[in-house]
Every structure is written in structure tokens, then in C-alpha cells.
Amino acid sequence: MRMVDLIEKKRDGLELSTEEIGFIIKGYTDGTIPDYQVSALTMAIYFKGMTEKERADLTMAMVESGEQIDLSAIEGIKVDKHSTGGVGDTTTLVLGPLVAALGVPVAKMSGRGLGHTGGTIDKLEAIEGFHVEISKEEFIDLVNKNKIAVIGQTGNLTPADKKLYALRDVTATVDSIPLIASSIMSKKIAAGADAIVLDVKTGAGAFMKTIDDSRELAKAMVRIGNNVGRKTMAIISDMSQPLGFAIGNALEVKEAIDTLKGEGPEDLTELCLALGSHMVLLANKAATLEEARAKLQEVMKNGAALESFKVFLESQGGDPTVVDDPTKLPQAKFIYELAAKEDGYVSDMVADEIGTAAMLLGAGRATKESEIDLAVGFMLNKKIGDTVQKGDSLVTIYSNSENIEEVKNKLYDNITISAEKAAAPTLIYEEITE
Ligand code: URA
Ligand code: CA
């Protein structure tokens, strides 16, 4: 097989076979096919797309390019949740203990990564003593015992995706639905998921800004999952404004605790119930979505979800008493209020820009080397649709620096107050299960 012929085939809009895709991914991973040929191929894919069969083949070729996590020693159906990323998205912290309380095994491999706030591991490290440096054996034992454990990224998972993603980044070929969908799905499958619930965000703070693009990506991922034998569904949810009230690591842990008690923000609670119901259903822990939701609400009310969080924290060295006394979480030195400059209605809160303001404060990493300040961030006191009077606090700012002019200006620039009444955005647009 010659790479040049395969580039030509895709350039002309023809379908690559399973063997051909396997040849490309193997050759690219081991360095026998150079970057320049793969660049030409990804550009051809950008313009010509990929068939459903090609997408499934590409996903599995990337899964097979490296190590795969074997979770077969864990009893039950391992359902993983994946979010395409947003601002102040605390759902993972809530959903893990929540569905684990119903017996759904949560075997989560998590990372730090870049972004507005830290990754799930950074957030959990706001809890004194908590660590994810556990062995694979311990990880599996903990999931069997407690139904939930989190381990740091281990092993050489999907090296082909790492190389391809870096190449796409510098060749203007990131924005290709088949390439994005197979990239995300390959990582979930390599991490051992039997079934996958996807939270595809849409709006200013999301990777996909429009509902049409979000739907296309969601459908592409759901089809790949189902075509390769992993039951997969997707929810398309709003990320025009940040989710919940908290943006920042320790603040989001506190928000997760509130939500596990059934006392969280309405939007975060609803999204967790919607995603959680599908996880419970896919894990065969309920017969219908309605039954799954009722069970989730029950464990929020009777304290079982919170107890599951405490057991999880303690098993990985964390201090479980933070759950009852969140003042034990890292606290910021300075607290400021962002006062509204006029009366009216909040009509816009641009999620990604507010996320960037949180990063300026130190809540997230701009580069891999940046240090995160776990204590800092925002609590939103108003959301889109709320009425505001001049002088009301729009946002409470938790900072370890007194120099916050830039942060304040960024917030003012991205929170719009209008005279006309504004509607709260739709939270859940669609559920895609086909
Ligand atoms: N996120 C991924 O993991 N892969 C992509 O290609 C795009 C976003
Ligand atoms: Ca939040």
C-alpha cells in the first residue's frame, strides 16, 4: 500500500477501507508515514468528509494504536460520561457519587489539562489529602467496593490521536466533525467504557457554537459508539452562560456538595439528573428514565449520594469532613462584589469570556506549566433572565490579589443588562439516542 494513493483516493471522495485506515494510523504512529502526507490526508478529509464506516474504523484504529484499559474485573456495566467542555461545569463531580450511590460503577480516569478552571483532578485536590496516584489494582478494588474511584492518566492511551490532534492544530483541520468525533470517542473507548453518555455543549462557551454543529457532532459520536458496540447517547446542553453559580476549583467542590444534597443551582441539578438518568438506564439499574430519575432524586434527598462522596474521598486520602464543613476548603484572601451599574434584566453572560476572567484570576491554566490557585473564582449572583437593580452584586469575586481591575472590566464587558425582559436560555436542547 502507498500513502500517496490513499491521499488521492480520499481527495477524490472515495471511501477508504478498514485495512487502508489501519495502515495509515499504524504508519503514522510508528513514524513510517510522515506528517506532510497525513496533513494532506486530513485536509482531504476536511473537505470530503468520512463515511460512517470510515469513522468507526478510524476510531478503532486509534484505540488500537496504544494501551487500552481493561476494566473487565469490575462488576457491572461501566458507563462513562464525557462533556465536550464548558465553563464552571461541575457535573462530573456531582454525577460520579450520585450514580455510584445507585450501584453504577464509576471508574474514572481523569486529567488536569488546560482551561478556564482546573480539570476534575485539580478540583478534587482542593480537598486536603485527596490523591489520584493509586495503582490500577487499587483502582479496580475501590470501584468494586465503593462503586467509584478516580485515577490519574496512566499508560500510553491513543498515541495516534495525540499525534494527529497536534498536527490538526497547526494545519487548520481541527474543525472537522468526523475527526473530532473519532478523536473523542477513541479516548473514551481506550479508557474502558462499555457505554457512554455524552454532554455536547452548545453556545459561546462551547467548542461548537451553534446548535446545528453541536447536533452534527453529537450524532457523529453516537453513531460511532453504537457502530463499535458501545451503547452511546448524547444530550445537547446550553453553554451560552456558565453552568451553575460557581466557577473555580474549591468553589465548584462546594457547589457539587450542595447539589448532591439536592440544594444546588437549578440548571446544574437538572443537567445532572438528565445525564445521570441515562447513565443509570444504560447500566441497567432502572427500567425506565422516569424510574432512574426518581431514584436519583431519592439518593439526593436521603443522604446516600453525599455519603457516597464522603466514602470516595476518604478511600483516596481526602478529608471527608469538608463535606459537612466546606470552610475547610481553600479560602481566598479577598472577596469583592461586582455591582450592577444600572437597573434592568441580565440578557447575556458570555460563558467563554467569563471563563477567561476566572483564568486571569488564577483559577485555570493558560499553559501546561501554570500553577492553579484552587481558592479563587466567581460565584454568579445573577444569571440570564434575572432582574437586576443598580448596586446589586452580579458576581462575587474570590481573589488572592487586590489587583482585580482587569478581571472586573472583563466581567462588566461580558455581562449585558438590558431594559427589555430577557428569557433564560433553554438548558437541554435535544437528546440523541439513535
Ligand atoms: N477534543 C478532542 O479530544 N479532539 C478533537 O479533535 C477536538 C476536541
Ligand atoms: Ca458551576
pLDDT for the residue numbered 367: 83
Return the CATH number at 10.
Answer: 1.20.970.10
Q: Which three cell numbers stand for residue 212?
A: 446545528
Cell of 236: 445537547
295 and 366 fall within a common domain: no
The mean pLDDT of 308-313, rounded to a whole number, is 98
Sheet containing 428-432: order of strands: 79-83, 195-202, 231-238, 428-432
Instruction: Please give the full DSSP string across 235-250, using - where no structure is assigned.
Output: EEEE-SS-SSSEESHH
User: Is residue 335 classed as helix, strand or coil in its secondary structure?
Assistant: strand
pLDDT at residue number 114 = 74
Last residue of a domain, one of 297, 325, 353: 325
Q: Does residue 366 surpass a pLDDT of 90?
A: no
Report the pLDDT averaged over residues 332-353.
Answer: 97
In a domain, 72, yes or no: no
The response to whether residue 165 sits with its C-beta less than 6 Å from ligand 1 reads: yes
Total domains in the chain come to 3
> Average pLDDT, stretch 154-176?
94
- Is 84 near ligand 1, meaning CB less than 6 Å away? no
Pair 246, 378 in one domain: no
pLDDT of residue 238: 97
Domain membership of residue 138 (yes or no) is yes
**56 part of a folded domain:** no
**Is residue 112 predicted with pLDDT exceeding 80?**
no
Cβ(187)–Cβ(161) below 8 Å = yes
At residue 373, the pLDDT reads: 95
In a domain, 242, yes or no: yes
Q: Are residues 209 and 234 in the same domain?
A: yes
With respect to residue 428, please indicate whether it lies within any of the assigned structural domains.
no
Q: Find the CATH number of the domain harbouring 118.
A: 3.40.1030.10
pLDDT in tens, 367-422: 888 889 999 999 999 999 999 999 999 999 999 999 999 999 999 999 999 999 99
Q: Is pLDDT of 111 > 80?
A: no
Query: What pLDDT is stored for residue 94 in this prediction?
Result: 97
**Contacts of 20 by beta carbon, 8 Å cutoff, 6+ apart:** 1, 6, 9
Co-location of 175 and 237 in the same domain:
yes
Rounded to the nearest integer, the mean pLDDT of the chain is 96
Indicate the pTM of the whole model: 0.95
Select from 42, 84, 162, 165 the residue to mutate for testing ligand 1; criterion: most ligand atoms less than 8 Å from CB.
Answer: 165
Residue 65 lies in a domain: no
Q: Please tell me whether residues 31 and 99 are part of one structural domain.
A: no
309 shares its domain with 239: yes
Q: What is the CATH number of the domain that holds 397?
A: 3.90.1170.30
Does residue 61 sit within a domain? Answer: no
What letter would DSSP give residue 157?
A: B
Cα–Cα distance, 144 to 146 (Å, whole number): 6
Q: Are residues 378 and 398 in the same domain?
A: yes
Residue 175: active-site member: no
Each as own residue / partner, the long-range contacts of residues 257-260 (CB below 8 Å, 24 or more positions apart, any chain) are: 257/306, 257/309, 257/322, 257/323, 257/326, 259/90, 259/94, 259/300, 260/94, 260/97, 260/98, 260/300, 260/305, 260/306, 260/309
164 and 310 co-located in one domain: yes
CA distances from 316 to 47, 128, 132 (A): 47, 11, 7
**311 in ligand 1 pocket by Cβ < 6 Å?**
no
Q: Is 168 a catalytic residue?
A: yes
**pLDDT tens column, 29-44:** 999 999 999 999 999 9
295: Cβ–Cβ under 8 A, 6 or more apart, which residues? 102, 280, 285, 286
Q: What is the DSSP string of 97-126?
A: HHHHTTT--EEEEE---SSSS--HHHHHTT
In the listed set 308, 325, 342, which residue is the last one of a domain according to the structure?
A: 325
How confident is the model over 218-247, as a mean pLDDT? 97
Q: Is the pLDDT of residue 181 over 80?
A: yes
- Domain hosting 348: range is 331-418
Among the listed ranges 21-30, 87-96, 268-277, which one has the minimum average pLDDT value? 87-96
Cβ(180) to ligand 1 under 6 A? Answer: yes
Say if 136 falls within a structural domain: yes
User: Active-site residue among 80, 122, 161, 373?
Assistant: 161
User: 321 and 367: one domain?
Assistant: no
Whether 27 and 86 map to the same domain: the answer is no
Element (H, E) at 325: none
Q: Which atom of ligand 1 is nearest to the CA of 184?
A: 3
Q: Which ligand is nearest to the CA of 271?
A: 2
Q: Which residue among the candidates 116, 163, 168, 231 is catalytic per the annotation?
A: 168
Q: Are residues 311 and 351 in the same domain?
A: no
Q: Is residue 105 pLDDT above 80, yes or no?
A: yes
Mean pLDDT for the stretch of residues 277-306:
98
Question: Residue 153: what pLDDT?
Answer: 83
Residue written as grid cell 437586576: 388
For position 115, what pLDDT does the model report?
Answer: 81
pLDDT score for 107: 95
- pLDDT attached to residue 71: 95
Task: Kindly state whether residues 338 and 409 are assigned to the same domain.
Answer: yes
pLDDT at 197: 98
The residue among 280, 307, 325 that closes a domain is 325
